[in-house]
């Protein structure tokens, strides 16, 4: 099977109509497009309707302590996860599943590059300042069938306990993050057991496993 994608036959996409169906302040909007796209046989598709949830892009960074062979994650409450739980879980100890273990992450700001955002979020959520540039892992689309959001992932080395700030998130924004140090192999086990369920965190940890923390 050929992996080539022929780009010599324009147009690849023909947008026929765009409509903003919903907007919530400056946080996100839902855009409806009516379009045609080039099929693999070279012809344009029939007109189709597609929705795009626009919420901007994000940045995430995994902290690794080489001396301890451990990663530093943050635990925080995520309402959408809570909302996805069954009623009996929401009203019992099952609600704990809404507190996810994640890498430090934040929304991409227009006046900062991804590396700068990573540094800013590290100080706010974990209290760490990097002494060197964070290293890139990948940029990926978490749900390309529904949203245009992309997430740029990085990793960096730190020494656990050598913080320059208190972390904990931005109180004025309702954030409350707990810093958790986890042995690296234990973190991988937590992926297998389902204790770590956040996609960007799983991708970052698996990247580190492939690197063998060289």
pLDDT at residue 96 in the model: 93
What are 179-188's pLDDT values in tens digits? Answer: 999 999 999 9
The torsion of the CA quartet 147, 78, 184, 104, rounded to 10 degrees, works out to 70
Cβ-based burial of 71 (10 A; exposed 0-12, middle 13-18, buried ≥19) = buried
The torsion of the CA quartet 124, 125, 127, 131, rounded to 10 degrees, works out to -80
pTM above 0.75, yes or no: yes
Domains of the chain (ranges plus CATH)?
13-54 (no CATH), 58-211 (3.90.79.10)
pLDDT reading at 42 higher than 80? yes
Rounded average pLDDT over 63-83 = 94
pLDDT at residue 165 in the model: 63
For the chain, the average pLDDT equals: 89
pLDDT at residue 89 in the model: 94
Residue 173: pLDDT band (50, 70, 90) is low
The torsion of the CA quartet 29, 103, 206, 155, rounded to 10 degrees, works out to 100
The backbone region for 141, taken as left when phi is positive above 0, alpha when psi lies in -120 to 50, beta otherwise, is beta
List the one residue out of 117, 103, 81 whose CA is nearest residue 179.
Answer: 103
| Rounded distance between C-alpha atoms, residue 79 and residue 85, angstroms | 10
What are 2-36's pLDDT values in tens digits? Answer: 556 666 666 899 999 999 999 999 889 999 999 99
pLDDT reading at 155 higher than 70? yes
């Amino acid at each position: 099977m050929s992996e080539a994608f022929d780009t010599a036959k324009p147009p690849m996409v023909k947008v026929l109509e765009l409509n903003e169906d919903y907007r919530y302040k400056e946080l996100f909007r839902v855009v409806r497009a009516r379009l045609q796209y080039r099929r693999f046989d070279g012809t344009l598709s029939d007109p189709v309707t597609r929705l795009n949830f626009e919420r901007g892009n994000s940045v995430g960074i995994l902290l690794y302590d080489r001396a301890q062979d451990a990663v530093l994650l943050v635990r925080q409450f995520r309402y959408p996860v809570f909302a996805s739980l069954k009623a009996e879980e929401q009203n019992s100890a099952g609600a704990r599943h809404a507190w996810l273990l994640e890498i430090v992450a934040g929304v991409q700001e227009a006046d900062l590059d991804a590396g700068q955002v990573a540094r800013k979020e590290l100080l706010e959520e974990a209290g760490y300042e990097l002494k060197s540039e964070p290293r890139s892992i990948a940029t990926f689309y978490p749900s390309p069938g529904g949203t245009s959001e992309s997430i740029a992932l990085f990793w960096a080395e730190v020494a656990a306990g050598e913080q320059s700030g208190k972390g904990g998130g931005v109180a004025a924004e309702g954030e409350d993050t707990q810093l958790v140090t986890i042995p690296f192999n234990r973190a991988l086990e937590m992926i297998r057991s389902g204790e770590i369920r956040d996609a960007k965190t799983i991708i970052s940890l698996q990247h580190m496993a492939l690197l063998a923390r060289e």
